[in-house]
Amino acid sequence: MIIIGLGNPGNKYLNTRHNIGFRVIDQFKEKNKFPEFKLSRKFHSLISKDKKIILAKPQTFMNKSGQAIKALASFYKTKDLIIIHDDIDLLEGKIKISKSRGSAGHKGIESIIKEIGKDFIRIRIGIQPEKGKPENPERFVLQRFTKETDIKKAVEAVESLISNGLEKTMNKYN
């Protein structure tokens, strides 16, 4: 199983809404005592792995995430992928889990679908404020985001997917 958090590399993007996938992977790694991340040029990603699970943070920038994920999925010969990312169509605090869906305009997901198709599980984390979608979504997703409760909830959803499977997890979180 490969669990991938989407985001953009570099300190400039560290705590932005668009990097919530990286932050979930980081907390999952810490909570479950995975080894430190190491840069893999072969996979264009930071990688941490145990015996059964690989954690990945693509370093290709969001819009080219598919390149890294294709390299990982091809090498490890698996379609057992969980992708974690921000979703501007969901209100803050909401999590939706889905499988085999379209991109809904998310550039990182578009890149992944283009490279490997849409047969993967997604954990979508809402970032839309109560007042509705912002006028400039591109700028909005690159602003700071500090909702730790949303990140913890997403980590719990990942753990549930691993332990309980897709159907039970979707029933609990959707």
Q: Which of 77, 101, 79, 78 minimizes the C-alpha distance to 90?
A: 101
Contacts of 60 (CB under 8 A, 6+ apart): 9, 44, 45, 67, 68
Type and span of the H or E element at 71: helix 65-76
Determine the Cα–Cα distance for residues 66 and 167; give it in Å rounded to an integer.
26
Determine the Cα–Cα distance for residues 119 and 82; give it in Å rounded to an integer.
10
Determine the Cα–Cα distance for residues 115 and 73; give it in Å rounded to an integer.
10
Mark whether 18 is an active-site residue: yes
- Dmax over Cα atoms in the chain, in whole Å? 45
Q: Which residues are catalytic?
A: 18
